[in-house]
Chains A and B, each alone.
Chain A
Amino acid sequence: MNLTLKVWRQSGPNDKGSFEIYQAKNIVPDMSFLEMLDVVNDELMANGKEPISFDHDCREGICGSCSLVINGRAHGPTRGTTCQTYMRNFYDGQVIVIEPWRAKAFPVIKDLSCDRSAFDRIIQSGGYVSANVGGAPDGNAMPIPKVNSDRAMDAAECIGCGACVAACKNASAMLFVSAKVTHLGLLPQGQPERAARVQKMVSQMDQEGFGACTNQYECEAACPKSIPADFIARMNCDYLSASVTPKQ
């Protein structure tokens, strides 16, 4: 198949940026979306032109690096990450618009790569259990009901890609933050810091310039790991109860 790509090119954070048009020729339906871009980039490089920058690494849907808005949808037309989007979901002759995540807290570095270090800073503010190496009790010392540990795992599956932010009209990071708050909040190990954690993480989220949640559920629809928006409600509940518990 042959495709026309309208790709966002931006030489640096301070450049205004614009769309440029490329032809992707002889694309095979079994190719992944990023392999299609490899073909385009390979040709650009062989002709001495700068390739289109985009973040990617594992190409199996788990590292969370890839981050393209394809035809207006974060990670493209199918559920899953950009790297797990296959060309069989497009048709010959289609025009495909490719953009980076767009959010104030995720400034563009170049072309389709953006800076998501705001997510790291949110985790650094409290997304952990403060346990040093050396003092842990036996792994089976504290039984955890399977239903809780399974639910915690549902939340822990978040890959931190940022599609939730890209899909939200408010560029809210609440699905991301609530996933970590829920994961640790459901486990006994997470209880001692539960109130402080949610307060610190929400405060950091606000400082980074992410918007608020207005219950549109776009995040849930875009999330490649199907993290449910219920977790946001759970986080709000934790946040509220934290505001009436004594400060740590």
Chain B
Amino acid sequence: MTLDSRIPSGPLQQKWDKFKADQKLINPANKRKYKILVVGTGLAGSSAAASLAELGYQVETFCFQDSPRRAHSIAAQGGINAAKNYQNDGDSIWRLFYDTIKGGDFRSREANVYRLAQVSVNIIDHCVALGVPFAREYGGLLDNRSFGGAQVSRTFYCRGQTGQQLLLGAYSTLSRQIGAGRVKSHPRCNMQDLVVVDGKAKGIIVRDLKTGKLETHMGDAVVLATGGYGPVFYLSTNAMGCNVTATYRAHRRGAYFANPCFTQIHPTCIPVTGDHQSKLTLMSESLRNDGRIWVPKNPGDKRSPEQIPDSERDYFLERKYPSFGNLAPRDISSRAAKEACDAGRGVGEGGRGVYLDFSDAIKRLGDKLIKERYGNLFDMYHHITNENPYKTPMRIYPAVHYCMGGLWVDYHLMSNIPGLFVLGEANFSDHGANRLGASALMQGLADGYFIAPYTISNYLASTKPGEYSTDSQEAKQTLADVQDRINKILNIHGKRSPMSFHRELGKVVWDYCGMARSKQSLDTALKRIPEIREEFWRNVSVPGSGDSFNQGLEYALRVSDFLEFAELLAEDAMAREESCGAHFREEYQTEDGEAKRNDAEYAYVSAWEYKGPGNKPQLHKENLSFENVHLAVRSYK
């Protein structure tokens, strides 16, 4: 199968308008005959479900949490980008597009990114209309702040809880549709598989987590907005429930998985303190607006930070990247922190940490203003570490945060399986090899509010409604496959908990396929992952039954998918013999340690096809052509 990205012809600036002008429409009275299944209720899922219901489609939503409001979009802190140019500082749609393409190290599609920048302005307007309480200036107008990888202030925010407020906005509009009977919501339901009928996505199998019952739901189109796969590393800033199951199961049914090795390591997280840890906590990138990052100049300097004079500190981001300083993009900042710690200059227990110091900002602006800007983040840090960041610098270290990779989609956000749409973090489309801060919220809402309602309508317009049945052979077979897998896992009766396997897997993926990768380390990962998986299927212990509320079983099923997916991730990292964005292959770097891209051979999207258990996946390439931007060396110096 060849990958057709279905990008409209014509100049970049007119592609989305051209799509809308050419798209097929469905008469309002006929819309209600179509049913759309939306899996995941984060920013992308909730906003898509609500917008599709507003148009008149029958919509059903599914989420594993106990309420749609709890999806992990809620944890995003810093903000959402939009090319409003309210600050009069030279922003424009073009500039947001260019920053995002460059930030992604030229591994994303021009057309998708340009559309994202175009609709960014509508997102802010719509969210304000929904009552999202964005931060404002004294004159009553919207406030902005700066974020990494940009030299303009275009980030809108709600204190340190922007994701929460945007999600609650989307949740409220979804709730309105649920209350009106236009959306049926299925909380505490975990998607287990995708039903493909005659090559088209027509349904899903879910496990009702409250009762353990497996259910088949069929519809005219399926939307996956199920987020990223960060917990394949075990420790990440993701929620405990974030998982790869929905996208990986769709992959096993034929959907191509794109760029799985592009995983973002966020530079500002609270460092690991011990083996007991279950998650890492992010400290918003917005802190880098006022905080200065440094380590002692001399390796092994054990003095407390206050005792180290300025002349003996290395403000390494300001030194290496003077034009962006502490606001250098995430991949670059993370690697610089790792480099400092590898050189023995790290701080805190274990030496895996760098200082994020607010003393200059506090001197300049005062406690009160700092509290207003970052109060909840400072409190959170204080609470977790028992250290007061108003008095002593924060200690931070990079941690897994976001997945740029995801299911392959075309310009319509449809995967290679017709009828299967993939939105938000679950797709691969807009961030290339590295995502800029405050762009995930923008993409989730762009996909859900402003893109999918058009492209899904266009798909449905050439589909006859109601052509599916839960009694079809395909639906029954998929259900039976899911049941078999659950029975198999319950009947192992081994000696190890699912968590112990998850930890072991995560350590392998982090150590050998984390912030830096090499052929050698990836060889180790590709050897170790199947060994862990083999032991899992022989020795995992999952007590209880399948037909009841069983959190141990839920978890074991997710871990089993991570165990397969991890191998795909390592394969992709192995196949991409260049360094770009978050993917840093040690063999490919410049003399001063920067990522060395290979545009001649690797300016493509890797899309992997599943070839059955035990077989190597097949690589398909979607070549990226850059007609509007010049492929430059990405410099933030």
Taking beta carbons and an 8 Å cutoff, which residues of A are in contact with B?
11-12, 28, 30-32, 34-35, 38-39, 41-51, 53, 55-65, 78, 80, 84, 86, 88, 109-110, 113, 115-117, 119-120, 123-133, 135-140, 142-146, 149-150, 152-153, 156-157, 159-160, 183-184, 187, 189-190
CB distance from A167 to the nearest CB of B (A): 19
| Mask: chain B, 121-156; 1 = CB below 8 Å from A; 0 = not | 010111111110111111111100000000000000
- CA A34 to CA B240, docked complex, whole Å: 11
> Chain A: which residue is nearest B550 at the CB level?
A50
Q: What are the 10 A-B residue pairs with the smallest beta carbon separation, nearest first?
A: A143-B140, A124-B179, A128-B172, A136-B129, A136-B125, A45-B497, A153-B133, A57-B239, A139-B128, A131-B129
- B133–A65 touching, CB < 8 Å: no
- B129–A124 touching, CB < 8 Å: no
Taking CB atoms, residues of chain A closer than 8 Å to B165 are 153, 156
- A152–B240 touching, CB < 8 Å: no
Taking CB atoms, residues of chain B closer than 8 Å to A117 are 66-67, 187
Query: Within 8 Å of chain A (Cβ to Cβ): is B241?
Result: yes
- A50–B544 touching, CB < 8 Å: yes
> Chain B: which residue is nearest A159 at the CB level?
B164
Task: Answer whether A63 and B129 are a contact pair too, CB < 8 Å, given A42-B500, A51-B552, A109-B549.
Answer: no
Query: Within 8 Å of chain A (Cβ to Cβ): is B542?
Result: yes
- B241–A127 touching, CB < 8 Å: no
Taking CB atoms, residues of chain B closer than 8 Å to A12 are 548-549
Taking CB atoms, residues of chain A closer than 8 Å to B548 are 11-12, 110
Chain B interfacial residues counted at CB < 8 A? 85
- B281–A50 touching, CB < 8 Å: no
- A65–B65 touching, CB < 8 Å: yes
CB distance from B357 to the nearest CB of A (A): 23
Taking CB atoms, residues of chain B closer than 8 Å to A146 are 136-138, 140
CB distance from B8 to the nearest CB of A (A): 21
Taking CB atoms, residues of chain A closer than 8 Å to B126 are 131, 133, 136
A interface SS class: loop
Taking CB atoms, residues of chain B closer than 8 Å to A64 are 69-70
Query: Within 8 Å of chain A (Cβ to Cβ): is B496?
Result: yes
- CA A39 to CA B498, docked complex, whole Å: 12
CB distance from B170 to the nearest CB of A (A): 10
CB distance from A152 to the nearest CB of B (A): 4
**Which of A55, A143, A150 makes the CB contact (< 8 A) with B141?**
A143
- B384–A86 touching, CB < 8 Å: yes
Taking CB atoms, residues of chain B closer than 8 Å to A11 are 548
- A57–B276 touching, CB < 8 Å: no
What are 17 A-B residue pairs whose CB atoms fall within 8 Å in the complex?
Answer: A48-B541, A48-B543, A49-B543, A50-B543, A50-B550, A59-B240, A62-B161, A86-B384, A116-B67, A123-B172, A140-B141, A144-B136, A144-B140, A146-B140, A187-B133, A189-B130, A190-B131
> Chain B: which residue is nearest A190 at the CB level?
B131
- B279–A59 touching, CB < 8 Å: yes
- Most-contacted residue by chain B among A44, A53, A120, A138 (CB, 10 A): A120
Q: A149-B135, A189-B130 are in contact. List 14 more A-B contacts (CB 8 A).
A: A42-B497, A46-B495, A50-B543, A51-B551, A57-B72, A58-B72, A120-B187, A124-B179, A128-B130, A133-B453, A143-B139, A149-B136, A156-B158, A183-B131
Query: Within 8 Å of chain A (Cβ to Cβ): is B630?
Result: no
Taking CB atoms, residues of chain B closer than 8 Å to A138 are 125
Taking CB atoms, residues of chain B closer than 8 Å to A110 are 548-549
> Chain A: which residue is nearest B383 at the CB level?
A84
Query: Within 8 Å of chain A (Cβ to Cβ): is B406?
Result: no
- CA A160 to CA B499, docked complex, whole Å: 28
Query: Within 8 Å of chain A (Cβ to Cβ): is B171?
Result: yes
Taking beta carbons and an 8 Å cutoff, which residues of B are in contact with A?
50-51, 54, 65-72, 74-75, 84, 86, 122, 124-131, 133-142, 158-159, 161, 164-165, 168, 171-173, 175-176, 178-179, 185, 187, 210, 237, 239-241, 273-274, 276-279, 281-282, 380, 383-384, 386, 449-450, 453, 493, 495-500, 541-544, 548-552
CB distance from A56 to the nearest CB of B (A): 6
- CA A128 to CA B131, docked complex, whole Å: 8
CB distance from A199 to the nearest CB of B (A): 14
- A153–B65 touching, CB < 8 Å: no
Taking CB atoms, residues of chain A closer than 8 Å to B135 are 149, 153
- A65–B383 touching, CB < 8 Å: no
**Which of B66, B141, B179 makes the CB contact (< 8 A) with A65?**
B66
Task: Answer whether A28 and B274 are a contact pair too, CB < 8 Å, given A65-B70, A117-B67.
Answer: yes
- CA A115 to CA B65, docked complex, whole Å: 11
CB distance from A156 to the nearest CB of B (A): 5
**Which of B74, B125, B173, B541 makes the CB contact (< 8 A) with A46?**
B541
- CA A187 to CA B142, docked complex, whole Å: 14
> Chain B: which residue is nearest A36 at the CB level?
B276
- CA A28 to CA B278, docked complex, whole Å: 13
- B239–A59 touching, CB < 8 Å: yes
Taking CB atoms, residues of chain A closer than 8 Å to B210 are 109, 115
Task: Answer whether A124 and B125 are a contact pair too, CB < 8 Å, given A12-B548, A117-B66, A156-B168.
Answer: no
Taking CB atoms, residues of chain A closer than 8 Å to B449 are 133
Task: Answer whether A131 and B130 are a contact pair too, CB < 8 Å, given A28-B276, A61-B380, A125-B179.
Answer: yes
- A184–B66 touching, CB < 8 Å: no
Task: Answer whether A145 and B140 are a contact pair too, CB < 8 Å, given A45-B542, A129-B129, A189-B131.
Answer: yes
- B239–A137 touching, CB < 8 Å: no
**Which of B54, B74, B550 makes the CB contact (< 8 A) with A63?**
B74
CB distance from B377 to the nearest CB of A (A): 11
- CA A31 to CA B543, docked complex, whole Å: 25
CB distance from B323 to the nearest CB of A (A): 30
**Which of B129, B131, B134 makes the CB contact (< 8 A) with A137?**
B129
- CA A187 to CA B172, docked complex, whole Å: 15
- A128–B164 touching, CB < 8 Å: no
> Chain A: which residue is nearest B187 at the CB level?
A117
- B86–A156 touching, CB < 8 Å: no
- A123–B278 touching, CB < 8 Å: no
CB distance from A101 to the nearest CB of B (A): 12
- B276–A113 touching, CB < 8 Å: no
CB distance from A150 to the nearest CB of B (A): 8
CB distance from A90 to the nearest CB of B (A): 14
**Which of A28, A124, A128, A156 makes the CB contact (< 8 A) with B133?**
A156
Taking CB atoms, residues of chain B closer than 8 Å to A51 are 543, 551-552
- CA A156 to CA B167, docked complex, whole Å: 11
Taking CB atoms, residues of chain A closer than 8 Å to B71 are 63
- CA A120 to CA B86, docked complex, whole Å: 36
Taking CB atoms, residues of chain B closer than 8 Å to A45 are 497-499, 541-543, 552
CB distance from A197 to the nearest CB of B (A): 11
- Most-contacted residue by chain B among A11, A39, A57, A153 (CB, 10 A): A57
**Which of A31, A80, A116, A140 makes the CB contact (< 8 A) with B66?**
A116
- CA A190 to CA B128, docked complex, whole Å: 11
Taking CB atoms, residues of chain A closer than 8 Å to B54 are 132-133
